[in-house]
Amino acid sequence: MNETGPLPVAQKGDNHRKRVRILKLLRPALGVVVLLFILFRMYQVLVVQHEFGPDTWTRLLISGLIIGAVYALIAIGYTLVYGILFMINFAHGEVMMFGAYAGLFAFQAFGAIKISSEPPTSFLNAYPVIAIILAFLIGMSISATLGYFLEKIAYRPLRKAPRLVPLISAIGASIFLQNAAQLLFSPQLRDVTNPEILKRGEGWKILINGSNVVISYTGVFTFVLSVLLLIGLYIIVQKTKLGRAMRAVALDKNTAALMGIDVNRTISRTFIISGALAGAAGVMWGLHNGLVYYFVGFIPGIKAFTAAVLGGIGNLPGAMVGGLFLGIIESMGPAALGIDFQLKDVLAFVILIFVLTFRPSGLLGEVLAEEKV
């Protein structure tokens, strides 16, 4: 027994090593094949068929940038929470949805308040700047409150539980919030009343290649406001005391607590910030796309998570870059690859799978220890 023992074991190890080597080669090989295929396809569509002119590409790029900015804003929420608690806040899209509803109702209410009867003007159109600011404040505070209570009720008691448990709790919270919205606000699709100066579909017109490309006011507004909020968040995280506390808690909760940081309060505030950003994203979604319903947060939520993973989860600039990148790929990708625009969601998910397969740490993420992945 003892004499014959080592030999087969060693052989088995060799086989195993060989197999592992083959597997390791398989992955890059697959990547190269896919890349070549994509390049071939792009060559075919862009050079051989030459279906779209520069005007279409500009249009697609603009819509991609706008949607990407919103994704970035939502993705920040995922990344902040993931950085601190190592959990996917599955209900984040629903937090955004409640923000969208708050914005919708705020605009509707402002539109209903009459200021003068001759000519008939509502508060919304008489003081549009104030109305927009108020609507954003309402949306952001509703979402921030929701985020705070979400953490307090559904996540805080589970902080020490195995990782599957808070994730399932988050899924439950997501289902709950979706259906609560359906029961509270009815399942119908609602139109947002925009103020006159931010009418949907209107904008500056540029003549490219003989056709008008519209840069919509709402789109520019959404993009600029998102970038401003992202810069604001970056300053909060990098320069303020709260931001330092957040980074410390993300690194090590116990040590942070020993340094006199109130861990619970920091986590609560993280949820408040990410909720507020999601709320702003929701109000913008309403302004730009115009439709709000109880399912509105689901797809943007998943996409924003994809964006966060794409940029490297837990990494703030990564989430911003990932969001813009995903937005652009989603709007230009189907045209570039010559596939149906219905399949843009498929494209987003395929990108997610490829990023996680070939570079799980994301575009900008550092390589995490296995424990964290």
Partner 1 sequence: MKALIRQAVRTGFTFGIVNIFFVLIGFNTLIGILLAKLSGIKQPGIIPAPKFLIIYTLLIGLWVGFSAIAKKNELEFGKKVLISGLAGLTTGFLAGLLNAVLAFLLINKVNARDFLTVLSFDFIKGTLFGLPPVSGILMTVVYFTLASLVGGTILALLNLKPVKNAWNATKFFIRSEVDKIQTVTQGKNRLLWQILAISLVAVIVVILPLKWGSYWNYVFGTVGLYVILGLGLNIIVGLSGQLVLGYIAFFAIGAYSMALLNSPVPHNLMWGFWPALVLGVVLAALSGLLLGLPLMRLRGDYLAIVTLGFGEIIRILLKSDLLTKFTGGPRGIQNISGPTLFGKPFASDIDFMFLIIGGVLLAVFVYSRLQHSRTGRAWLSIREDELVARASGVNTVTYKLLALAIGAAFAGLAGGIYASRNQFTGPDEHALMASINVLSLIIVGGMGNIPGTLLGAFALKGLPEILREFANFRLLAFGALLVFMMLSRPEGLIPSRRPKYQLPKDPDKIDSGKEAKND
Select the residue interacting with partner 1 from 98, 105, 136, 325 (CB under 8 A). 105
**Nearest distance, CB of residue 224 and partner 1, angstroms:** 30
How many residues interact with partner 1 (rule CB under 8 A)?
A: 56
Segment contacting partner 1 by CB under 8 A, of 35-43, 130-138, 209-217, 305-313: 305-313
178 binds partner 1 (CB under 8 A): yes
For residues 328 and 108, what is the distance between their CA atoms, to the nearest angstrom? 32
Select the residue interacting with partner 1 from 18, 114, 163, 239 (CB under 8 A). 163
Select the residue interacting with partner 1 from 306, 316, 330, 333 (CB under 8 A). 306
186 binds partner 1 (CB under 8 A): yes
**Cβ nearer to partner 1, comparing 39 with 171:** 171
Segment contacting partner 1 by CB under 8 A, of 64-72, 138-146, 262-270, 341-349: 341-349
CB 79 within 8 A of CB 87: no
Select the residue interacting with partner 1 from 32, 161, 231, 251 (CB under 8 A). 161
175 binds partner 1 (CB under 8 A): yes
29 binds partner 1 (CB under 8 A): no
**Nearest distance, CB of residue 216 and partner 1, angstroms:** 27
**Nearest distance, CB of residue 313 and partner 1, angstroms:** 9
Cis peptide before 119 (omega within 30 of 0): yes
Segment contacting partner 1 by CB under 8 A, of 218-226, 230-238, 251-259, 339-347: 339-347
Buried b (16+ CB within 10 A) or exposed e, 127-166: bbeebbebbbbbbbbbbbbbbeebbeebbeebeeeeeeeb
368 binds partner 1 (CB under 8 A): no
**Nearest distance, CB of residue 168 and partner 1, angstroms:** 6
Segment contacting partner 1 by CB under 8 A, of 35-43, 63-71, 125-133, 304-312: 304-312
**Nearest distance, CB of residue 188 and partner 1, angstroms:** 8
| φ, ψ of residue 215 in degrees (nearest 5) | -100, 105
3-state secondary structure string across the chain:
CCCCCHHHHHHHHHHHHHHHHHHHHHHHHHHHHHHHHHHHHHHHHHHHHCCCCHHHHHHHHHHHHHHHHHHHHHHHHHHHHHHHHCCCCCCHHHHHHHHHHHHHHHHHHHHHCEEECCCCEEHHHHCHHHHHHHHHHHHHHHHHHHHHHHHHHHHHHHCCCCCHHHHHHHHHHHHHHHHHHHHHHCCCCEECCCCHHHCCCCEEEEEECCEEEEEEHHHHHHHHHHHHHHHHHHHHHHHCHHHHHHHHHHHCHHHHHHCCCCHHHHHHHHHHHHHHHHHHHHHHHHHHHCEECCCCCHHHHHHHHHHHHHHCCCCHHHHHHHHHHHHHHHHHHHHHHCCCHHHHHHHHHHHHHHHHHHCCCCCCCCCCCCCCC
84 binds partner 1 (CB under 8 A): no
Segment contacting partner 1 by CB under 8 A, of 37-45, 57-65, 149-157, 248-256: 149-157
**Nearest distance, CB of residue 175 and partner 1, angstroms:** 3
180 binds partner 1 (CB under 8 A): yes
Mask 36-55, x = binds partner 1 (CB under 8 A)?
A: --------------------
* Residues near partner 1 (CB under 8 A): 16, 23, 27, 30, 86-88, 105, 108, 153-154, 157-158, 161-169, 171-180, 183-186, 302, 305-306, 309, 339-340, 342-343, 345-346, 348-350, 352-353, 356-357, 360, 370, 373
